[in-house]
Structures are given as C-alpha cells and as structure tokens.
Structure 1
Amino acid sequence: MAFHRNDDAGREANTAVREAEQVQARKTGQETPASTNGTPEHVEDLLLRLVRELVAELHPKAADRPVHLDHSIDRDLGLDSLARMELLTRVENAFGVTLPERTFTDAESPRDLLRAISRLRTAATPAHAADQPAGDSLVPAKKPEETERPDAVPHNARTLVDVIEWHVTHHPDRLHIRFYKDKEEGDTLSFHQLKEGADAVARGLQHLDIKPAEPVAIMLPTGPDYFFTFLGILLAGGIPVPLYPPVRQARLEDHLRRHRSILQNCAASTLVSMPEAKPFARLLKSQVESLHRIVTVEELSSDSGAFWTPQVNPQDTAFLQYTSGSTGNPKGVVLSHANLLANIRAMGQNVQATPNDVFVSWLPLYHDMGLIGAWLGSLYFGSQLVIMSPIGFLTRPLRWFQAVHRYRGSITASPNFGFELCLRKVTEEDLRELDLSSLRAVCNGAEPVSAETVRRLIERFSVCGLKQEAVMPVYGLAECSVGLTFPPTDRGPLIDRVQRETFQRDGLALPADADDDNALQFVSSGSPLTGHEVRIVDDAGRELPERRVGQLHFRGPSATSGYFRNPEQTGKLFRDGWLDSGDLAYMVCGDVFITGRIKDIIIRAGRNITPEELEEAIGKVQGIRKSCVAVFGSHTRGPDSSPAPGTPPEADATSDMGTERLVVLAETRESSPETREQIIAEINSLAVDLAGTPADEVLLVPPGTVLKTSSGKVRRAASKERYEQGRLGRPAGALWLILARQILSSMPQQLRRARRALSDSLFAFRAWSLYVILATLGILSIIALPALSWRWTALHTLARLLGLSTGTRLMVRGLENLPTDRPCVIVANHASYLDGYVLAATLPHPVSFVAKAELAANAALRFLMQRVHTEFVERFDMQKGIEDARRISRQAKAGRILMYFAEGTFTRAPGLRPFHMGAFIAAAESGAPVVPIAIRGTRSMLRADSWFPRRGSITVTIGKPIEVQPTGPEADGASWNTAVELRNIAREFILRHCGDPDLGSAGRS
C-alpha cells in the first residue's frame, strides 16, 4: 500500500503551498508571479515556514525548535541532499519561481535561498508593482500584536553582553528577576533596570582604570547589587571572579585562607563587596599583594560621565569559576562566552526552556549551578527568575516550594542535600497548602544523588502534584561550565541496582536480583548534552565496555580551555583531547551512572569502597548530624588517634595488614559516654553491612568540625589531611613502615589491574591477527571466484569464522523476515567499523552495499568493492549526490537488494543519529519493501577513533518488511511523503532494538 501524509506537519506544508497558489490564482492579465508580490518580510516569513515544516517532518523531536535565516542547512537543520530537493519543490511551488538546482546544492543557509528568490523577484517585478493593492500581497499582513515578539530568544548572540543588549532592545520592561519575600511581592528587576544598574557599575569600574580582561572579585550576597556587579564587570571589559561572603565567624580563618589563594591566583586588584564585609576584606587586602581597592556598589554607582563599551569576542573569558578546592588550593576554571552560551543552549534544549518559564532558585550566585544554571540560563531565554538567598532557604526550607506554588515555577534545581532538608523540615500540614504541579524540571545535581532521596521526594511530594517525570538527576562540573549529562524530560529517574561484591571487587556493575537487599544503587544522570561527548576509560586510557567502572572523560563546546595561571593542573586536566572529570562512572545504553570521586575511593583489602553511601547511612544514626559525616581511607593513623571506644580489636588490626584504614568522622552533640559508645557500635554495624568491614576508627567530633565546600559538599581530602596531621586523631607507627605497608596493600589491586590489562591486550592482538589472516583469504576469494554468489558465500563464511575464533557471540533474531523471492532495501544503524562484517556474517545472500564515494578514491579498494556490487554515492557534491540517488533508485527497480547504513556515518558517542532519505526514496520509487536491521553491541567492542577491540557480544534484530506501492519519480510529493513514512517506521524499529539513545533531532545550536 502507499502511505499518505495525514499528520499536522504534512497538512501545514500543503496549506502553505495552497495559500501561495491561491494568491497566484487572483492574478489577472500580465501580472507578475506571486513571488514578486508581497513585502520582503512576507517572503522571508513564508520561506522560513517552508523550511520549518520540512524540518518538523524529518525531525519530529525538533518540531518546536526555531529556524533562522543563518542556520546551517546541513549542520543545524539536518537536511541532506534529497531533503534539499524536496525543499526545492516546495519553494518553487510556493513562490511560483524556478530556481537552478545549483542554488540548492550550493546554499549553506536559508538566507542564501532568500537572496536567490529576491534576485528573481527583482528581475521579474514591473515598475508599477509597488502600487499594487495590499490585498494581493503574498501572505496576509502580520497582526499588530505579532509585530512585537517579547517571547523571542537571542539565538544569534555571541556573548553575554549581546544577550543583555538584545533583551533591552526587544522588551526592556519585561520582568526578569523577582526577589522573593514571604508576605509581599518583593522587589523586581526588568531587563532595562538590570542594564541600567550594570551600566552604573561599569562606569565606576572604568573610572578606576581597570584594564581589559582584568579580573575583578565579587564578594556580595544574593541581591540586586550582585546582578549589577557581575554584568557591570563584563560591560566594563573585566572578568568577574565570584567569591562567597563569610557568614560564620567560626570559619573565618578557613575563609581567609581560601579567598587569599583565589585572589593571589587571579591577581585581582579590585574587590567589590558590601559595607558589612569591609573589615574581612581589609584582612584580605593586607595578605594579597595585588589587591589595591575595596569598593561597594554604591561607591561605584556614584560616578558619572563618559562610558565606553569595549569589544567582547566569543572566545574571551566571561568569568573565572573557582572550584571548591579540597585542601585550600582552589583552581580557577576559565569559561569563555562561547562556553557558557553553548552550555546554556544545550541545557535549555534538553529541558525545553522557553521565555514563559519561571525558574525558582535559592542557589548561591557564587556557585556555578546558581550563577549559570539559574540566572544566566534565565537571562538568555528571557524567562523570569524568582530568587531567594541561600540563608533564607536554609532557615526555612518551605520557602522554596512556597515560591514555586506562588509563582507557578516550572524549573528549579538543588544539590541533593536541599531535597533532604525539605524532606525533614516540610510537615504534613505544609504539604496540604502546596501545589507543585507546575514544575516541569526539578534538577538534582552538584553533588552525589541519593537513590533514596529521589524515591522519598517523589513519594512525599506527589500529593502536591509533583510529577515523577519532572525529577531529573543531572551531572555537571565547573570544567564543563555547569551541565554535562541530563536525562530526557519525560522519563523520570532511572535507578540501577548492582551486585555489591562484584562492584567493589572487580569494578563491574552487574545487575542485582530483585530480592538482593545488599545491592548498591546508582542513579542515572542521563546522557551527554547535545554537542558533548563522554567516555569511560581504564587506567591506560582505553575505553571500557558497558557496566565497567572507569574514569569519566568528556569534551564539547562547553569545556574549559584550562585553569587560570595554572599550567601544571591544566596539563593534568587534558587527556588526548579529552578532559578528565576526576569522577568514576559506568554507562548503560547511553546513560551515565556516577559512582564517586576517584580521589575519594577507599581501597580496603582489594575492595573499592565509595564513601557516599556509608556517609548517608551514618547520617541517619540517632545523635549524628545529617550531612555532617566524612568517611575516608588513610594509610596512617592521625598522630593523636587511638582505637575508638567500641571498635572491635579485629578492626583496628587492619592497620597492621597493609591495607587502607577506614576512618569515620561524624559530628554529634551527644556527650554521654554510654550514648557515644552506642553510636559508635551502630556506625560499625552499618560499616560491616555496607563496606564488608567495621571502621578502623570512629571519631565523634563537635559540630562544625567536618569541613565543607561553599556548595555544601563534604571536603574529605581536607578532613583526611587534618586527621593525618594530628588535628583530629592520634599517631600511629613509623612512617617508613606505613609506606611499606601501603605498597604491600596495593599489590593485589595492582596485580588484578595488570592481569586485566594484559588479558585485554592479548585479546586485541589475537583479534587483529585473525582478522589479517581471514581478510587476506577474503580478498583472494573476491578476486578469484567467478560468481557473485560464490564470493558472498566466502565472505559470509569468513565473517562468521572471525566471530567464532574471537569468542564473539553473534545472536541473530528475525532472519526469517528477510525476503528470499524478491528484491528489497535493507537499512541498518551504524555504530562501528564492525557493522559491515556483522552484516556479512548475518545475511546469507548477496546484497549491494551503498557506500560513500570517498572509498572509491582508492583504486584497489574500489576494485574489490565493485566485485561485490557495491554502489557509491557522493556526500559532499550535492548535485552529484542527487544524481547518484536517482541512479540507485533505478538499480532497486531492476531487482537489486540494496543495503544502506541509514545514518550515513557513525561516531564514538552512543546515539541513533538522523537517517538520510536515500534508501527510502529508492524504496518509494521502486516499490521494494524496506527491511530494518538493528545492530547492538558493536560500538562497545570497537568504537570510532579506536583500534583496540574488546570482548563482547552482538545482537542483530531483523524486522518484518515494510511494504509500499511504487510511486515513481514523476509523483514527487507522493514519493517524498511515502519515503518519510518508511523512514519513520524503520527508524522506530531500529531505535527500539539497537540500545542507543535517540539523537534524531535536527542539527545543533
């Protein structure tokens, strides 16, 4: 049967054409074509409408994404050569013109098409055209309310300065920031007011003669002054450096030490602060040689006079984000305007951000999640930010959800501890007065995400309308601006339960049985944002297969160029073009599961113990302060440490067995010896359950002892350092003995790693050796055997032999679905160089592979491929590519079985890419059925950019033929619509069985 377009996108496309045809039908006499009528704005609108509708048909998930004149037709819109030809037909029908095919092969953007149409309109417009009545215009005039578009987004902005300028130009009075108050509406800032306050700060800074790209430190609380200052520094040409203002006198020394390190590193000469913090700032000034001025926003804004705006480029540094710093040595992450805008756009695309969103935030503005995720993201999309101070949230957590309820918040975010605080502090009575149904995205990130917290949050707040699919565990880091992996917006949390023993011993995240009460639980952080990639590698830098724990590396347009004035740490950050996150993780079907920080892993008797789970459990012990627990491993005892009361003798003996000592540091206000002994016993019981061993030392310490970062994360390394320096514990034996034991204790783990690496290397060597032998036999068979069927049988046999000899399990499902009595068009996903060999081992009868023309440039390779009837298509010469597509369509009509990798190419990152239309056009015009084939497992065995094969298994799933009646090339519209339907059905089948996430939206920002 033939398919017909009945969906909305198809109806809209036909409507657009009919509108243009109706305009033409009103012509009389020698009037010019419809395309010569109408204003240039109307022509632009109709052209963008036609492009938008075609993109929506090909990429349904991108249907709501804006299309602009300067978008790349290939990269941003995802239109291949055949899609260009379909656009040609629609444009010519709509405008009543005939464009040369070269226009569509050479055009790089819709603006190029608009220029070509305008040239034809100019040539065809008679002198009296301007006097024609308005009723004959190409499309109806815009309604007055459509002239102003306050909901637009500055897609073409190249810097943060461009963003604020754009909003001030288009809707200066639009509400942007609301400062939350319990009983009142609170102060607000429009875009104009924000820019006005920032201009005043910029003017004051320029009068202080700050130099271009000079760092300027900000130490201000949440309030209008912070927003004015950050933007004002950018407008003045400086680089903002956020610092957190000191709020606790007990931590004053720690604040001084950290801020001194930051200011010395960035060499800031100016610090913008508040009057109350000036005494603290003066202490800093006395210790930092470069710091010359301490000023307030009021002092800066009092200046008047000339103000000039320096040139700002996308690659210029937008601000320095100093990492938390575990031992008083924070590193300044350099983030450019391009980095920030790429990250904001990618995150916004993931959560489907619009100007109508309301982001409710209590996050501190000196932290990347609050600064970039909450404010700069809201600034870019022109949405409203409802914000309160972190102190206001901590003193009364209910305020956060009351703000969501009151202002119908649609997006919010918090570290895990923020949700835990609400679970503890929000009462059942409070729940009855909350409505959280407006929330579309509730992001949990910036620290390890607890599976239990996620479950309890959904269970507890579902009565308020909180939807499960709105809860989004995410992952990011300052080195990637802020966000790196996000889950789909409509999926909800994904929790993986894995076998504890196998995970801790071998680093394998094998699924646990449903009744395994001792299973570890990890929460998926989703897949990489658009344009970004992650990989999981072993110690040698080789990529690991699924469910193998390793180091997480990443790259993408949001990634930093390095650390400010810190070449040593910058060198450690990069690994062969990738950035090392410092985190351990594993992947399953494209989802990333973070398991902990590399530096925090405790190696105990050959087992890898992650501290987060144990800290969370200990935090629930009666008498222990929640989120005030540090668990770390140490090869030494603190100079003042001794076995804690209640610690079993066999536990303390581990220090004499050459293994890391498990140390628990927990805050409590309990002073009774009996109560403290009971607490220690309960902690040891939990340690045995979760880590397989009791703690070597449990230190119950007063509140405020456990060190934390500015974002509330436990500073384990700093706590460990204090412990080992004798500030938290007691001494152990001689240093040389401890070092010797450390070496001995690590030997079993090192031997296991060496054995695993050797085994992997031997497999790779064996696989390549077998491949060379069998490939040689294959080449000889192709050359010597006279019949195509004989050649294919030889290749089929050798490909299966390669799999058997390497121990690769090949499972084929649905082989009976392959037609044996007629030709067909086979389409498959493409994930690895192994895919061709897999199909040769799977398909028993000859097929004609459709390959890229570049392969034919090598004469020997071309000869061999032509001997198995390979067809070549041009990818870069659009005109030649269209001719090749037509030629191959004729081959399908002649009875050939064609084999396409519909994605056209493959990448190392998991994901099913958009399908090219060539295979489906050939099927639609010839009437040959389409047979979809899903290949799973090859990417894990041999990724792009890698020549190191790994063990694995492969599954090939063959779908039933998708029947179609031939349309012929003369019926262009029917042929295209039929091909789109074929593509959608085939791609849906492959997506369901290939195990990869969907990357089917058009292009990238």
Structure 2
Amino acid sequence: MSRLPHATPVNADAPGAAEKLLGIVRQTVLELRPHAAEGAPIGLHSVLDRDLGLDSLARVELWSRIEREFDVRLPEALFATADTPHDLLEALRAQAGVAVERARVAVPARVAGDEQAHAPEQAQTLMQVLDWHVRRHPQRCHVRLLGDGDEAEAIGYLALQQGATAVAAGLQQRGLEAGQRVALMLPTGRDFLFGFFGILLAGGVPVPIYPPMRLSQIEDHLRRQAAILENAGASMLITVSEARLLARLLKPQVPSLREILGVAELAADGDRLRAVPRRADDLAFLQYTSGSTGQPKGVMVSHANLLANLRAMGTALRVSGEDVFVSWLPMYHDMGLIGAWFGSLYYGFELVLMSPLAFLARPARWLRAIHQYGGTLSAAPNFAYELCLSKLEARELEGLDLSRWRLVLNGAEPVNPDTLQRFAERFAAYGLSPTAVTPVYGLAEGTLGVAFPALGRGPRVDWVRREAFQASGRAQPVEPGSPDALRFVCCGQPLPGHQLRVVDEQGVELPERTEGHVQFKGPSTTAGYFANPQESARVRHGPWLDSLDLGYMAGGELYLSGRAKDLIIRGGRNIYPYDVETAVGNLPGLRKGCVAVFGSGDAASGSERLVVLAETHEQDAEARRGLRLAINRVALDLTGVPPDDIVLAPPHSVLKTSSGKIRRAASRELYERGEVGRPRRAVWRQLLRLGRAALRAQAGRLGRALGALCYAGYFWALLLGIASLTWLAVALMPRRSWCRRLVRRASRGFLHLVGVPLQVSGLGQLRLPEVRVLVANHASYLDGLVLCAVLPPSFAFVAKRELAGQFVAGRFLRRLGTCFVERFDPQRSAADAEALGAALQAGQSLVFFPEGTLSREPGLQAFRMGAFVLAARADVPLLPVALGGTRMVLRDGQWYPHRGAVRVEFCGQLLADGPEWLDAIALRDKARALLLQRLDEPDRLRLAG
C-alpha cells in the first residue's frame, strides 16, 4: 500500500504536474526497487522496466498511486503501451476533465443451464469435442470476451468452428501439411481462439508462445522465442500485425519458418477445408514453459492425454454445464489454456475471458466479473490473490457478491498458507465460503492437473518440526502456531486414474512423511519433450515421470516442500538461474563465475523475488550504479522481468561447492540473513566449516541409505528363515489349532524382531464365543501376517482358489483351514459360497478382504459383496477391522520395507436388517463408512466419481 501522503488532486495540465508524477514514480521505485533508485536520475524519458526495474507487478502499484493522486481512471491499454513517465503524463493530459467513473455494481446474471448436462465422453480428439457441442447447441454461448469497457463479445460453438474452419482452409492453402507445427503468438482474444482451433482443423500442431507484454519489447521478445521456434521446427508463425515485420528477422535463425501470418489474412485467403483424420494418440499441441529455458522443453500433449486430464479434473472438481469459469489467465499458459478454455469446452460451461493486462491494470475487474456473471470457478497463481489483498480498497468492493464462487483454485506457483487464510477471511464478508479456497498441484508434464484436495474441506496446512525436516527430511508434526516450525500446504490426492509417489535419490519409494522427489504416472502423463530425447530420458523412470519437485505424502495426500534444480517462479513465469548467471557473469566489472541467481520468498506479494548476487571489486558509486543498470538490462532481456534485488558483493561472497558449483540455496540463506558482504572468517576456516557441513550431510545421507539397505536385507532374511521353519512345523503338526497358534506366535515374533510395533484396539470384542464375519481393508502383503499375529486361533481366512493349487502356499493354507473361493466360474463360485455358509453354521468364524486385491495407491477400493451376503443370510455379526500403517511398511510393487508402526482397530459389530440383497448392500455401506472413519486414507470410490 502506498505511503504517499494524500493530497488534493492535481490537474495533469497544471504547472508542476510533471514533477508530481515523477515524485510518485521516484517514491514507487525507492520502495519497490531500491537498487534501481540508488543514484539513478529518474526523468520523463526513463524506461520503466529497463532503467527503473518496474515489472508488471510493480506497475500495478504505480498505476494505483497515479490514479489516486490525480483522481483519474487510466485506460487499461496504457498498461501495455506506456514505457516512460512521459507516456503516462500524456495519458493523464488526455484524461483531463474526464469524470472518474466508479466501478458499477452489476446484478449477477444467472447462466441458463443446458438440457443435456452430460459431456462428450466418447470423443477421442479435441475436434470431436467441438463437433459434439456444435451438433447439440450450436448457438449456445461458449466464451464471453471482455474488452476494456463493460461490453462483452459472445462466441458460440458454431461461431468458433466457422472461424477456425476459415483459418484452417487458409493454412492448407499455404501448404501446411499434417503434423507440422504452427506457432501462435497472440494475446487473449478471438484471434487466439480461431487460430488455435484452425491449426488443429488443418492437421497442424499448435505451439502457443506468449506475446510481448508491451509492443516496445517485440524485438527483444522475438529473439528470446527463436530457440522455441527452432526446437519446435515451426513452419509458420501466426502473430499480431505489429510483430510481423520484425518477426521476419527470425527466419535466418529458424530455418523451418516459412510464413509469418495474421488470423484475418488466413481467414480471407481460405477456401475449402480438406478434412485431416486425427487419432487419440496424435499430438494436440506443444506446451513450452515460459521464461528463460536455455534448452527449450516442449511438452508433448496428445489428445488422449488432454481428454484424460479434463475428465479426471472434472470428476475431482464435480464440474457441470451449470458452472461459469471466469479467467484472466494467459492462453499460452497451461492453466489458462487447458483449465479454463478446454475445461469449459469439454463440459459445456460458460467461460468469461478477460486479458491478463486487464487484471494487472485493475485487479478488481476479476472479482467484478465473477460477481456480474455468477462465476463458480476461477483459478490464479498465488501472487494474484496477494494482489487482491494488498491493492484493493473497500470502496472498490462495495456491493460485491462472491457467494457463487465455489472453487477458488490456487496453483502454478508455490502456495503461501498466509495468503490462503487472509484471502478467505477478507472476502468472507462478500459471501465467499472459506471452504472454497482450494490449493491444487499440476504441471505441464502431467498435461495440467496432478493432485486436488477433497472438495468442501478448505485448505489444510501441515506444521512440522523445522530441525528434523531440514536435517533428515522427516516431516514430524508439531502443534499449529509453534514458533520453530515449517508449514506446508496440502495439495490433495492424485486425480482419479493417476498415481503419485515420493522416492529417494536411488528411486526407492519412501514412507509417508519423508521428503523426496515427487513422481507421477497416469493417462495424462506426457510421452516426453519434443525433439529432446536426453531431457525426456532424464525425467522418465519406467512408467513414472519425475516432476523435479520435492515433497512428502501424509494420509495419502501430497505436500510440496520445494523444487529441484533451483527453478525460480516469478509471477507465474519459470526462470532458470544458470542462464542469467552466465549472461550477467560476462559483464565487465563483475567476477566471471561468481554470480548467484535465486528466488527468495516475499510475504508481501505472495510470490518469489528474483535476486541477483554478483561479486565485484568495484567501489566507485557511479560505476556500481552502472553495473546495476547493466545487470537489470541483461536479466530483463533473458527472462522478461527485471530483478527485484541486485546485490553487488565483495569477492568470495557467492558460496560454492568444493568443485566450484554455485550453492544457490546456501547463498539465498546468507542473503535472507542479511550477511552478504559482512567480514568473515579466513577463507580456510570457511572452507573447513563448509566442508565439515557437507561431509556431515553426505555422511547422513549415506548412513540413512546404508541403514535402509541393511534393514531390507535383515527383513527379508528373517522373514524367509521364520517362514521356512513355520511352514515345516505346520506341515508336520497333527492339529489345526496347534498350527494356528504357532503361526500366531511366529507372526508376532517376526514383527517384534523387525521393529514393527503393533497397536491393537477393540480386541475385547472377540472374547465372546460368537461366530462372526470379519472384513478388513487390504493395503499390503503384510495384512494377512498382521491379522495372524492379532486374531485368536478360532478364525479362518477366505482366499482365492488359485492359491489352493500352489505347492508351498496351498499346502500351508490348507493346513491352517483356509477356505477357498472361485472368482471366475459361476457354478464353482456358488458351491464355494454354500461351503462358506456351512462353515459359519458349524461355528467357524471367517476373515475376508472384501477389496479382493491390493494397490500401492492409498485409498479404500470397491468391496466385493460375498462377505456381506454371507453375513446377511447367516444372520451373524459382521466386524470391520481397520489396518493402518501396513502400506507404509511394505507397499505393493515396492520390495523395500520401511520401519513403521502398524495399527489394528476392531470397529463395532454390525448386523444386517435381513437376508435380502438390499440388506447386504446396506451392511456393506455401513462397514465402508466405519472403516473410512478410522483410516487415514481416501475413499477411492468417491475419487472415481
């Protein structure tokens, strides 16, 4: 918030208006970019970003101060065109005498529903999705484009198809062949929508890249995009008319680039479209990450990937045609392109679309649009919510109604728990439900969404012990509010049909609450990066893909803790430090190879601050100011955003490893402690101290890895030894009761020897000599062993008949009195069911795993009906048993055990209301509900929709 004193509004034509304006600019630069203000002459012709370091977020603050002090409302287009204070002064003069129009309170417009609420579930490509909607409701509004004023342009499904068809015909007429890539560098608007679908209909592959924020930056911007165009092998570039002349300079750098065109030109030249057949596994588009990438990585998104992700997200978020999505997100970003546009296209809900510049110029417009159009869905990075908290005054929010906004999705950059809480608290007064605030996790390599939390719960924040987490990666819970604690936001469970895991450096899956590399797999996962097999192989681990994020799992949900490779996310843009460090290090006056670029959390903006730490011998104040300006220009050229802070430090300030690599995380800690440039110990002492710390950390990692390996060897050797002796003894013992008692003791002894404590509750319910049916969740191969260790010898297990024919397992199970059931032959299955009923009548209690199988994924799966039908017909009590912790000790598909406690809880007994099928179903549902109450795992049935 501005700290300028409130004064009488000044007319822009009045004497002193220019000085007044420059005073506002100077004060803003001094507060937000002090390194740029140090000794810098700020004049009417100073360039806002290059000379003064004012990026898009800083301009938001400058705009609000100018409007308040001059009592004007600046045109939103000025946000993209103004480069100097002189441009701002001219705009102020043009506004002289124009009355300030305050934001009008509009009545929310309810969006009419569609009689056909279902989605195109059989569609295999994005084009088939559009065809499906055109056949059913061609005139229905698909997108409302908001301009600078209050007017909105409605685009229906048929209009989208017709506009795209004209563009597609024009592309084919100019020689576009199936599978060729076409780059799309257009701002949010009708041309982008028609252009993207036109490329698809013509048989091409769209490559959306972000347009320049300001037209004055076109030349620099195009130079940064050349690497992406070359990697994609783009044959054509569709862009705005202002960029076409300069874009022609790219042709020598991009040999594949033949044409640079506009949408209107293509549509005018179009004739008849030639249909191009497309399949589900064909590329839908290439998604390049924004920012400086060094080696561009274009994520290959197929139509199958895209539709699988849309369907999974729709199931998780329970979207329907009645929803309304209000978005200002850029169309070149996956959250805006897929989450907003393609999500609305697939499910048929209305998309209210505004320019990112409109939001940055006036954040209140976003909330006003949600109010006016009855928005139920919207998404943004964390910085956008912070912007609404810090820049919007109460008068701008008068009459605002956010009561229909049911999902406030926060993603695309690190989520700040304070932002979540403060946004919910402030806008509760305007009808926003506190449970609507929803942090989510996704990335381009997963198409978009990867993990979403349960709906209606609100944000969940995990407080963990700082020392334990930083030392060993163990997320040990502490009481909320603990002063020495770290906080991590829950991103939820993997989408239906998708899986998440956390692994160590060797790819071994880690137990819950242990930090490691987050990996994912599922039908939305990309096949890799376009024309970049090395990077594709680096992140691919069998069916799993490495997200390059760090995190841990707890209760089956993901908590992100950081990012690998020191990636910086600044205002939703990815910045890779190495590129900036190399370029800055080449500047004369700086020590080459002694530059560290890192992100530092900024509580004020809710985003990350881009910090450049560079070593220099220079002491002269004027020369140091010149170095800062040069660093600012280089960083701006490479990343599109100026640094938030530039620190010129004496030699040996940038920390390095013993091999000379920049230690960005350690340098960031030094910066955040304010210790950069302070006198230090002798170099040999520093090296010795750093070496000791590195050795301790490495020794700790090696020790933990060696300990885990030794434990796994001990676990399996002990299991093999005890199992062999137990099998032999069971084979020789004459009485079944003796066999069961021996197995019980052997199981308890094994768990004790491998350090797996048993926590049992409710066992007293088994003391009555009553026949009953037990049903337990099935999470691990240890489940049977655990139940053998706990249950009295009067219980018999029910197992699949395939095991009966095995020499080792079958003989052992038969000696224990196991009952076998056929799963595939109906006749044999019915006979087995009769045998189970007879066993109950004879006084034999039975144990079932009604899920029938197990999975590495957390969650209670669907139940088979056998146990419940049997209990209902025999009129015997059914006792659910909750097994917790076994999945953590030994997960399916991961033969690497971990130490951990196992919990066995016997829930209350249940009785069926009668012997009928519906009574058995009701009994099943009661048992599931009881187990879900006691398990720290999700309901897989609910996740599956």
AA partner of residue 982 (structure 1): L
Match of 2:864 in 1: 916
Q: Secondary structure at the match of 1:172?
A: coil
Match of 1:387 in 2: 353
Matched, 1:615 2:601: yes
Q: 1:405 to 1:783 in 2, by over 3 A?
A: same
Match of 1:260 in 2: 226
Residue 955 of structure 1, CA deviation: 0.6
Match of 2:898 in 1: 950
Match of 1:993 in 2: 934
> For the residues of structure 2 that align with 1:578 and 1:953, how far apart are their CA atoms?
28
Residues 94-141 of structure 1: CA deviation (Å, up to 9, x unaligned): xxxxxxxxxxxxxxxxxxxxxxxxxxxxxxxxxxxxxxxxxxxxxxxx
Match of 1:316 in 2: 282
Match of 2:672 in 1: 687
Contact 1:661 1:696 in 2 (8 A): no
Q: 1:307 to 1:780 in 2, by over 3 A?
A: same
Deviates more, 1:855-864 or 1:640-649: 640-649
Residue 280 of structure 1, CA deviation: 3.4
Contact 1:177 1:188 in 2 (8 A): yes
Contact 1:818 1:961 in 2 (8 A): no
Residues 847-888 of structure 1: CA deviation (Å, up to 9, x unaligned): 221112222342332222111121222334455445533442
Q: 1:293 to 1:870 in 2, by over 3 A?
A: same
> For the residues of structure 1 that align with 2:686 and 2:279, how far apart are their CA atoms?
54
Contact 2:654 2:667 in 1 (8 A): no
> For the residues of structure 2 that align with 1:774 and 1:499, how far apart are their CA atoms?
38
Q: Secondary structure at the match of 2:365?
A: helix
> For the residues of structure 1 that align with 2:920 and 2:215, how far apart are their CA atoms?
70
Q: 2:211 aligns with which of 229, 237, 245?
A: 245
> For the residues of structure 1 that align with 2:825 and 2:528, how far apart are their CA atoms?
39
Match of 2:917 in 1: 976
AA partner of residue 574 (structure 1): R
Matched, 1:577 2:543: yes
1:41-56 mapped onto 2 (5 Å cutoff):
none
> For the residues of structure 2 that align with 1:203 and 1:163, how far apart are their CA atoms?
20
Contact 2:375 2:404 in 1 (8 A): yes
Q: Secondary structure at the match of 1:434?
A: coil
Matched, 1:463 2:404: no
AA partner of residue 815 (structure 2): R
AA partner of residue 337 (structure 1): H
Matched, 1:233 2:199: yes
Q: Secondary structure at the match of 1:406?
A: helix
Residue 188 of structure 1, CA deviation: 0.6
Q: Secondary structure at the match of 1:792?
A: helix
Identity in percent: 44
Matched, 1:696 2:644: no
Match of 2:711 in 1: 763
Contact 1:660 1:742 in 2 (8 A): no
Q: 1:645 to 1:557 in 2, by over 3 A?
A: closer
1:599-748 mapped onto 2 (5 Å cutoff):
599-600=565-566, 614-617=600-603, 620=604, 627=607, 629-630=609-610, 637=615, 687-688=672-673, 694-696=674-676, 746-748=694-696
Q: Secondary structure at the match of 2:940?
A: coil
Residues 388-412 of structure 1: CA deviation (Å, up to 9, x unaligned): 0000110000011101000100111
Match of 1:48 in 2: none
Q: Secondary structure at the match of 2:739?
A: helix
Residue 512 of structure 1, CA deviation: 2.2
Residue 631 of structure 1, CA deviation: 5.3
> For the residues of structure 1 that align with 2:654 and 2:490, how far apart are their CA atoms?
38
Match of 2:531 in 1: 565
1:222-621 mapped onto 2 (5 Å cutoff):
222-248=188-214, 255-324=221-290, 326-600=292-566, 614-617=600-603, 620=604
> For the residues of structure 2 that align with 1:924 and 1:392, how far apart are their CA atoms?
63
> For the residues of structure 1 that align with 2:646 and 2:450, how far apart are their CA atoms?
45
Q: 1:372 to 1:965 in 2, by over 3 A?
A: closer
> For the residues of structure 2 that align with 1:475 and 1:883, how far apart are their CA atoms?
49
Q: 1:952 to 1:561 in 2, by over 3 A?
A: same
Contact 1:615 1:630 in 2 (8 A): no
Q: 1:649 to 1:299 in 2, by over 3 A?
A: closer
AA partner of residue 279 (structure 1): L
Match of 1:856 in 2: 804
Q: Secondary structure at the match of 2:941?
A: coil
Residue 544 of structure 1, CA deviation: 0.9
1:934-949 mapped onto 2 (5 Å cutoff):
934-949=882-897
Contact 2:617 2:650 in 1 (8 A): no
TM-score calculated relative to the size of structure 1: 0.73
Contact 2:823 2:829 in 1 (8 A): yes
Residues 338-384 of structure 1: CA deviation (Å, up to 9, x unaligned): 00000000000111110111000000000000000000010000110
Contact 1:659 1:742 in 2 (8 A): no
Match of 1:885 in 2: 833
> For the residues of structure 1 that align with 2:567 and 2:757, how far apart are their CA atoms?
34
AA partner of residue 598 (structure 1): A
Aligned length: 780
AA partner of residue 943 (structure 1): R
C-alpha root-mean-square deviation of aligned residues, in Å? 3.3
Q: 1:883 to 1:843 in 2, by over 3 A?
A: same
Q: 1:631 to 1:856 in 2, by over 3 A?
A: farther
Matched, 1:824 2:772: yes
Deviates more, 1:520-529 or 1:814-823: 814-823
1:159-238 mapped onto 2 (5 Å cutoff):
159-181=125-147, 183-238=149-204
> For the residues of structure 2 that align with 1:410 and 1:952, how far apart are their CA atoms?
43
> For the residues of structure 2 that align with 1:536 and 1:639, how far apart are their CA atoms?
45
Q: 1:515 to 1:219 in 2, by over 3 A?
A: closer
Residue 612 of structure 1, CA deviation: 9.6
Q: 1:817 to 1:280 in 2, by over 3 A?
A: farther
> For the residues of structure 1 that align with 2:567 and 2:176, how far apart are their CA atoms?
44
Q: 1:944 to 1:645 in 2, by over 3 A?
A: closer
Match of 2:590 in 1: none
Residues 588-631 of structure 1: CA deviation (Å, up to 9, x unaligned): 101100111111299xxxxxxx99995224xx4xxxx8746235
Contact 1:782 1:791 in 2 (8 A): yes
Residue 638 of structure 1, CA deviation: 6.9
Q: Secondary structure at the match of 2:449?
A: coil
Match of 1:899 in 2: 847
Q: 1:961 aligns with which of 895, 902, 909?
A: 909
AA partner of residue 858 (structure 2): P
Q: 2:763 aligns with which of 786, 801, 815?
A: 815
AA partner of residue 154 (structure 2): T
Residue 573 of structure 1, CA deviation: 1.3
Q: 2:879 aligns with which of 931, 937, 956?
A: 931
Match of 1:81 in 2: none
Contact 1:500 1:519 in 2 (8 A): yes
Q: 1:563 to 1:964 in 2, by over 3 A?
A: same
Contact 1:824 1:930 in 2 (8 A): yes
Q: 1:872 to 1:479 in 2, by over 3 A?
A: same
Contact 1:245 1:277 in 2 (8 A): no
Q: Secondary structure at the match of 1:302?
A: helix
| Stretches of structure 1 lacking an aligned partner (at least 5 in a row) | 1-146, 603-609, 667-682, 689-693, 699-732, 968-974
Match of 1:774 in 2: 722
Q: Secondary structure at the match of 2:775?
A: strand
Residue 184 of structure 1, CA deviation: 3.0
